[in-house]
Structure 1
Amino acid sequence: MSRPSHRSSSRSFRRGAALACVFAGVLATGAATGSWPEAADADVAEPAADARAAGRADGAADGEAGEAGELVSRRGGDRWATAYSAEEYAEVRRHLAGEYVGTGIAVVRTAEGRIEVSEVHEDSPAERAGVRPGDRIRTIDGVRVSGGAVTDVVGRLRGSDRPAAAGPGSTVRIGLERDGRHWTVEVERARLTDRAVTVSRDAPGATRIRVSSFTQGAADQLRAAMAEVPEGDGVLLDLRGNAGGLLTEAAEAASVFLDGGLVATYDVHGRQHALYADQGGDTGTPLVVLVDGGTMSSAEMVTGALQDRGRAVVVGSRTFGKGTVQMPSEQPDGSVAELTVGHYATPLGRTVDEDGIVPDLVVAPGEDAQARARTVLGGLAGGE
């Protein structure tokens, strides 16, 4: 394994939290499937990074990731270095291919701090159990979720904090609230195919396209979504909470809105490389990109490219700030170590790592970013 890319234990909840970050989408970019570099409020993102680092340390200390764990332990100062057992890395690859074990629930944190169901995947265990978008999640397996990070909630729904007991067929008890009614439902987890792109009519003249991750096939889904946009509509490209995925998918996604030209530059062990958009993308539809502190890695790359190239107005809050490239290295015992080998930059040469991307219009905490984005989109459409 040599191409760049972006962990399970009863002893360590912290290591489980790190795995939860991975399976919730907090992935480095690229993968053995073939790419390079690679979501949630700002106050959620850093604890996710902390949990990942803590999990990395616990995994190395426990010896669960074998030789990869030992290698990562010796790699001081690399906050994105990660060790996986062979089984864990196989699960990461399945996730990057758009598969995961879970209930079919997507969640968001509201401005009031509540955890709400934002989407229920069609024909998923959650849909069959009667869970609906807008339901408030109060507890998971009897433990309150108030104040918890979105990544932790997703990880607990998927069982990433207890991976040995969370395969297909395992169950999770979810305490819900709807219209003042409280109840608990038991949902059986299953292996699901993730649809990374969803389309909705946000308001007259505005089509919202949400991209939850850049897993395999996301760019084709985005291209198909653009074909559904009614004539005369502008597009809200919602990358909030998108933690990245495959760099190749992100570059292809940027191509949907660009007619050739530079998407990003990156280095691997000091050697410079560039990613270019395909020609023939849609350059005329008014476009606003929605971001937040959970917009990360290859999602930041797409945002930076569209912002630098003048193709979109970016609205929301500062993005996470992960602009590094990881490369997987398989160890003799089958474990995998991912170590940072370089960084990437936007078309204008801005580095993303730690700094993130500052939106053109910064939305204050508690404000309705989506409403602000619609206002901006209306201005873009009216100015044509």
Structure 2
Amino acid sequence: MARENSNGRPTGLTFNQRAQIFDRTAARVTKEYFDPNFNGTKWPDLARESRQQILALEDADAFEHAMHDLVRRLGTSHTGFFHESVKRVPARLAIGATFHRTETAAGTLWIAQDVHEGGPAHAAGLKPGDVVRTIDGVAPPSNEPPMFAMGRDVDLALDRGSEHLALRISIPTPRSKKQPTATLKAVTWSIVEGNVGYLKVPILPGALGLDVAREIDVAMRELASCDKFVLDLRGHVGGGLGVLRLMSHLTPDRIPIGYTVTRKRAERGYDKASLPVLDRLPTDLPNPLAIARMAFKYAGRDTSVALVSEGLGPKRWHGRAAILVNEHTISAGEMVAAFASENRLAAIVGVETAGRLIPGSSSKVGAGYMLVMPKAEYRTWGGLRFEGRGVQPSVRFVWPAGPDLTDLSGQLSGALSALRGR
């Protein structure tokens, strides 16, 4: 039997347990990973060659790290291996913040960049530009951004300009252990610089995204009289089908957006124009009826699908829009930026996005461990694939790095400048 600590995390696994977890993981990757060529990595051979070495690791943490490293050798985003006790979660998911890495004579600094409203970091008082000195008394590693355990408090020592500060961040237990994410304020909006509508969407919660789609609709009604529009996707962490509504507001028409293709569909061949079409979120219905309708149409079938915008009609600001992105914009945020760029719906302002645009799915593989990997890939309607390379900006704006770090308003000013000529 596995030995567990107080939060249910294994401290030791038997050899047979490790073997069972390893073999389940290897079988699922071999059968279900979206690319039958394993992204050019010869992954099944790598798994066979490393099996005995990994199974010899009696320490549960060492076993988990080795399994994570093995799965990560597939070379795609949304790919990993972790325990459901969510001990190591990226900051963007655990606390609703991202960090910028800066090299100085004194060593590597991790500087808070995006701090999303409603998240644990924002509630604790973390601000863009804060330099993290220690986390629970230990300096963060230089080779990866800060990671956090969910369901506990964490103490940060910070430099804010010349001030030395201490913050305690209370990180809640995630609602879903399959997709551990802190709750963020998903939609905020305002009118800036005269009559420019500003909408910030850091996350699109919910698999079907019905509630967030309705929130986006409310924001768009409030901003309907604006002459120009800025969509802020800096630090966007991803989400579900609410992304269809967000993209649909960028164009008056029904136009193809992109498509996802599973391994099964790819292996037998397909015509993108013949894929099942998702072109409407039934937000006019109560959630139970809307969910039932979506389930009747799509559940239990191959998940390959073509996305088409909903045809929501013209807006005053169409043709005069900008989208803010940065190196932390991932997943659904990149879908929006790619759609807008490919169809010339908005100026993309910032730096290249993260190149993490592929849908990930999680599976249980035993003893509380989860395998996460993409079972389908996403391409724009023009056939572009942004996994591994991000969406390029049309207006480049690099977040300042140095002793004068303040907030992120400079990039918004850059977007407004880009819109003045439109």
2:199 alignment partner AA:
I
Q: Where does residue 85 of structure 1 map in the other structure?
A: 83
Q: Secondary structure at the match of 2:421?
A: helix
The worse-fitting range, judged by mean Cα deviation, of 364-373 and 266-275 is 364-373
How many correspondences in the alignment?
305
Q: Which letter maps to 1:115? A: I
Matched, 1:197 2:187: yes
Give 1:254 shift.
1.0
The correspondence of residues 287-302 of structure 1 with structure 2, limited to 5 A, is 287-302=321-336
Counterpart secondary structure, 1:252:
helix
Cα separation, 2, equivalents of 1:253 and 1:85: 33
Which structure: larger Rg?
2
1:236 to 230, 233, 239: 230
Decide whether aligned partners of structure 1 residues 10 and 277 sit closer, same or farther in structure 2, where only a CA change above 3 A counts: farther
In 2, the alpha carbon distance for the partners of 1:119 and 1:238 equals 13
What is the CA-CA distance between 1:376 and the residue it aligns to?
1.6
* Aligned counterparts of 1:133 and 1:347: Cα–Cα separation in 2: 38
- 1:336 is displaced (CA, Å) by 2.9
Asked if residue 177 in structure 1 is aligned to residue 177 in structure 2, the reply is no
Q: Are the aligned partners of 2:224 and 2:316 in contact in 1 as well (CA < 8 Å)?
A: no
Mark the CA change 1:354 to 1:69 in structure 2 (over 3 Å): closer, same or farther: same
Q: Which residue matches 1:213?
A: 203
1:1-384 equivalence runs, <5 A: 73=70, 77-80=74-77, 81-88=79-86, 102=95, 106=97, 109=100, 115-116=111-112, 119=115, 121=117, 127=123, 131=125, 133=127, 136-141=130-135, 142-143=137-138, 152-153=145-146, 155=147, 160=148, 163=149, 167-168=151-152, 170-177=153-160, 180-190=162-172, 193-216=183-206, 217-229=211-223, 231-246=225-240, 248-258=241-251, 259-271=253-265, 272=270, 273-280=305-312, 283-285=315-317, 286-331=320-365, 333=367, 335-363=369-397, 366=400, 368-380=410-422
Q: State the alpha-carbon separation in 1 of the partners of residues 142 and 200 from structure 2.
A: 23
Equivalent residue letter for 2:260: Y
Deviations along 1:165-223, one digit per CA (max 9) or x if unpaired, are x524x342443536x44332444444563212222444223232222123224433333
CA distance in 1, matches of 2:132, 2:168: 14
Q: Please list every run of 5 or more consecutive structure 1 residues that lacks an aligned counterpart in the other structure.
A: 1-7, 12-36, 38-56
Does the 8 A contact of 1:304 with 1:347 survive in 2? no
Please say if residues 270 and 342 of structure 1, whose CA atoms lie closer than 8 Å, have aligned partners that are also in contact: no
* 2:155 partner letter: V
> Greater shift after overlay, 356-365 or 342-351?
356-365
Q: Deviations over 1:320-353 (max 9, x none)?
A: 2233333333335553322333321112221212
Q: Take 2:254 and 2:74, find their aligned partners in 1: how far apart are those partners?
A: 37
Identity %: 19
Change in Cα spacing, 1:328 to 1:232, as seen in structure 2 (3 Å) is closer
Give distance in 1, aligned partners of 2:164 and 2:68. Answer: 48
The answer on whether the counterparts of 2:347 and 2:394 sit within 8 Å (CA) in structure 1 is: yes
Note the alpha carbon deviations across 1:71-118, whole angstroms, 9 max, x for none. 9947953444322334449x99xx9xx9x765xx64564999873576
* Alpha-carbon contact 1:260-1:276 (below 8 Å) kept: yes
What value does the CA root-mean-square deviation take over the aligned residues? 4.5
Distance 1:70 1:108 in 2: 26
Contact 1:293 1:320 in 2 (8 A): yes
Match of residue 5 from structure 1: none
Tell whether the 8 Å contact from 2:10 to 2:60 is kept in structure 1 after alignment.
no
Give the Cα–Cα distance (whole angstroms) in 2 for the partners of residues 126 and 298 of structure 1.
22
2:155–2:166 CA contact under 8 A, matched in 1: no
TM-score (norm 1): 0.63
The change in CA–CA distance for 1:210 and 1:109 in structure 2 (over 3 A counts) is farther
Find the aligned partners of 1:298 and 1:227 in 2 and give their Cα distance: 22
Return the alpha-carbon distance in structure 2 between the equivalents of residues 325 and 188 of structure 1: 29
Spell out, residue by residue over 1:47-85, the C-alpha distance to the aligned partner (whole angstroms, 9 max, x if none): xxxxxxxxxx99996556999986994795344432233
Give me the whole-angstrom Cα distance separating, in 2, the residues matched to 1:341 and 1:237.
29
The amino acid of 1:222's aligned partner reads: I
Contact 2:112 2:128 survives alignment (8 Å): yes
Q: Counterparts of 1:101 and 1:74 in 2: how far apart (Å)?
A: 22
The Cα of 1:289 is off from its aligned counterpart by 0.8
Name the residue aligned to 2:286: none
SS at match of 2:355: coil
Which residue identity does 1:214 align to in structure 2?
A: L
